[in-house]
Amino acid sequence: MSQHCPRCGQELDLFPLPVEPLYSMDTACLMIPMRRSTLKRSLSKHRERLSPPQYAGSWGKKYRLLTAADIIYLRSVTVGPHYLYRHSILAPKGGI
């Protein structure tokens, strides 16, 4: 995708938009919802279905980043219709 500079009109080669947002592990824990230790276990369990790992930070401290598609997939696995039915008022009194 190319765009033009508004001042000089020169063509600019930029990365294609829209770019998928990246989220930290702490933010992902709030959106999925699960604890950090459970999220780490889920990342290794569903590794073949998720995007390749992406990291930010320096050599001493790297932070794992998750894409929006990864968070949507993990949320669908953990908080699916079975979870919503089990914890709703529509569920039978004795449970499922």
d(CA 25, CA 27): 5
Residue-level pLDDT, tens digit, the chain, 96 residues: 567 777 887 777 766 667 788 999 999 999 988 899 999 999 999 999 999 999 998 888 889 999 999 998 998 888 766 665 555 555 555 555
Helices (H), the chain: 25-31, 36-45, 68-78, 81-86
Predicted pLDDT of residue 76: 86
pTM: 0.64
d(CA 67, CA 78): 17
The CA distances from residue 43 to 7, 33, 62, 91, in Å, are 46, 14, 16, 30
- What is the topology classification, in CATH, of domain 19-86? Multidrug-efflux Transporter Regulator; Chain: A; Domain 2 (1.10.1660)
Predicted pLDDT of residue 16: 67
- Indicate the domain borders of the chain: 19-86
Predicted pLDDT of residue 45: 92
Residue 24 phi/psi, 5° resolution?
-75, 170
Place of tokens 């930010």: 56
